[in-house]
Amino acid sequence: MLRAIDLATGQIMRVVKGTGVETVIDGVHADTGRPTTGTPIPDWEALTAVAEAVPLLPGIRPQSLRIPTKPQSWDIALTDVEPMPLEVNFGDDFNLAKLASGTGVLDANHREHLRRCGYRL
């Protein structure tokens, strides 16, 4: 399952599951049967604060790209106490965001990010 999340509010906007032609939009929790679309992610502000750690690992970026920024993907566990960073990964999967949102990733924020990375659009 992939969930598209509104980055400003932390609310689940869209849920998809399956692969290829079997991909379906499904905003219902598998165990409870309750809707998940519109549900806020717990501790969203604390969860997104991990972005403050990004500059601490400046060497992480795809080696094939000669760009000045360092893409990172973080795995974070939501615990009873606070969000807990588990690991930082090398690079990111833009295709997952595209599949989750169904709208693609080349919005105004992403275009600005690419410009900062040296890409010309």
Q: How confident is the model over 2-38, as pLDDT tens digits? A: 889 998 899 999 999 887 788 888 888 888 988 989 9
Let me know: does 12 contact 28? Beta carbons within 8 Å.
no
Q: How confident is the model over 51-104, as pLDDT tens digits? A: 788 778 776 654 444 445 556 778 889 899 989 989 887 766 667 777 788 876
Give the residue extent of every domain in the chain: 2-116
Whats the size of the chain, residue-wise?
121
CA distance 67 to 61: 8
Q: Beginning with the edge strand found earlier in the chain, give each strand of the sheet holding 24-25 in spatial order.
A: 2-5, 12-17, 24-25
